[in-house]
C-alpha cells in the first residue's frame, strides 16, 4: 500500500519532508497535495535551492496547479482555511505551518476527508505524542491527531530512555544549544520574549524550551524529573542537547557509553540513535537523518555520581525524516 500524504505549510519542515522522500527514493509514501500561500514559483525555487541542505538533485516542473518532481505529482493550493482543503484522497495530512497545533485547529484538516493528521510540532490535547523509535509502538487506530513532538524532544528521548533503562534518572536538567530558526529576527525588533527580540545571528540567546517536560508525554514515568532551557546560537542548523542528571544507581563513563552504543547498534533505536567517538563539531552533523547522535567523548561523571552527556541533532533533517517514519506508522492502521 502506498501512503498518500498532503503537506499544509511548505516551509522548512514541509520542504525537507519532500526532499527526504526524494533523497531516500521512498516508494511507499506519495505526496499528493501541498497547501501554501506562497506562489508556486517561489515554492519551487526554495525547494530546489536550499542554503542549508544544498541544491535538490531532481527536476521540478509546475504545470498549472500541479508540481511534478520525482515520483510525485502534487496538487498545489493556496487555501487559508484548512477545513476547505479538498483532500478526500489523503491518508495523513502533515500540518507543517506551526499554526494549527491544538486538537481543535489540527482537527480542521479532517473536515474534508483526510483520515489522520500529523503535527510537526508539540501539540495540545492530541491523541498521542510520538518520538519514533521510543514510543511509536504504542500507536493505535484510535490515534487520529498525532504530534511528532519537537526536534529537541526527538533528540533527548532516545538518550533518556536508554540511560533510564540502564541506570535510572532520579532528576536532571537539559540545555539545548540550538541553531537559530525562522521565527527569530535578523535584527532587533519587538517580541513578547525580550530575549527573542534580539538579532539571531549576532548573539547567544537564552530562551525557553518545553522539550524536557514533554518527555513525560513519551516516557510518562519521567514526569517531573526533567527540566530544561535553550540557548539559541548564531549557526543556521544543527543543535546539541547537554543533559545532566543524577542516576538512581551508580554509573561510570564506560558503562554509560556502552549502554548507548549497544542501543544504537540494534533494536528499535537503530538508525534513530547514533554513537560517535570522534571529536566532531556541529557542521559535521548537517544533513544527518538520525534523531540523536551521542557524543561519547563528552560523557563525564563527577566524584559524587552526577552524570553529564551530550547528543547532537540536525534539527531540520532528522526531524523531517521522523515525520516520514511516524506518518508511515500511522498509515498501518488505515
Q: How far apart are CA 14 and CA 7, in angstroms?
A: 6
User: DSSP code of 2?
Assistant: P
Backbone angles phi, psi at 256, to 5 degrees: -65, -50
176 with 241: CB under 8 angstroms?
Answer: yes
Active site residues: 151
128 with 146: CB under 8 angstroms?
Answer: yes
The secondary structure of 50-89 as a DSSP string is ETTTEE-SS-EEEETTEEEETTEEEEEE--SSGGG---TT
Cα 208 from chain centroid?
17
Cα 81 from chain centroid?
25
Amino acid at each position: 500500500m502506498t501512503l498518500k500524504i498532503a503537506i499544509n505549510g511548505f516551509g522548512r519542515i514541509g520542504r525537507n519532508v519532500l526532499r527526504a522522500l526524494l533523497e531516500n527514493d521512498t516508494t511507499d509514501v506519495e505526496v499528493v497535495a501541498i497547501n501554501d500561500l506562497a506562489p508556486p514559483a517561489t515554492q519551487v525555487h526554495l525547494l530546489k535551492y536550499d542554503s542549508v541542505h544544498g541544491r535538490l538533485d531532481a527536476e521540478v516542473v509546475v504545470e498549472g496547479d500541479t508540481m511534478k518532481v520525482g515520483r510525485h505529482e502534487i496538487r498545489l493550493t493556496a487555501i487559508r482555511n484548512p477545513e476547505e482543503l479538498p483532500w478526500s484522497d489523503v491518508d495523513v495530512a502533515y500540518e507543517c505551518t506551526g499554526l494549527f497545533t491544538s486538537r481543535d485547529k489540527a482537527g480542521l484538516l479532517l473536515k474534508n476527508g483526510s483520515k489522520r493528521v500529523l503535527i510537526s510540532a508539540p501539540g495540545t490535547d492530541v491523541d498521542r505524542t510520538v518520538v519514533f523509535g521510543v514510543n511509536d509502538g504504542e500507536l493505535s487506530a484510535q490515534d487520529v491527531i498525532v504530534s511528532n513532538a519537537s526536534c529537541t524532544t526527538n533528540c533527548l528521548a532516545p538518550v533518556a530512555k536508554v540511560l533510564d533503562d540502564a541506570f535510572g534518572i532520579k532528576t536532571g536538567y537539559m540545555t539545548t544549544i540550538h541553531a537559530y530558526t525562522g521565527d527569530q529576527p535578523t535584527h532587533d525588533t519587538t517580541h513578547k520574549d525580550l530575549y527573542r527580540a534580539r538579532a539571531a545571528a549576532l548573539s547567544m540567546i537564552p530562551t525557553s524550551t518545553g522539550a524536557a517536560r514533554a518527555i513525560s508525554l513519551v516516557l510518562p514515568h519521567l514526569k517531573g524529573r526533567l527540566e530544561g532551557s535553550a540557548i539559541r546560537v548564531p549557526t543556521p542548523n544543527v543543535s546539541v542537547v547537554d543533559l545532566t542528571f543524577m542516576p538512581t544507581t551508580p554509573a561510570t563513563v564506560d558503562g554509560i557509553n556502552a549502554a548507548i552504543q549497544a542501543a544504537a547498534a540494534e533494536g528499535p533505536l537503530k538508525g534513530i540513535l547514533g554513537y560517535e567517538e570522534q571529536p566532531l563539531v556541529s557542521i559535521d552533523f548537517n544533513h544527518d537523518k538520525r534523531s540523536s547522535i551521542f557524543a561519547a567523548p563528552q560523557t563525564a561523571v563527577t566524584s559524587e555520581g552526577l552524570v553529564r552527556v551530550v547528543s547532537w541533532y540536525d534539527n531540520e533533517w532528522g526531524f523531517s525524516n521522523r515525520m516520514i517514519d511516524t506518518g508511515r506508522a500511522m498509515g498501518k492502521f488505515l
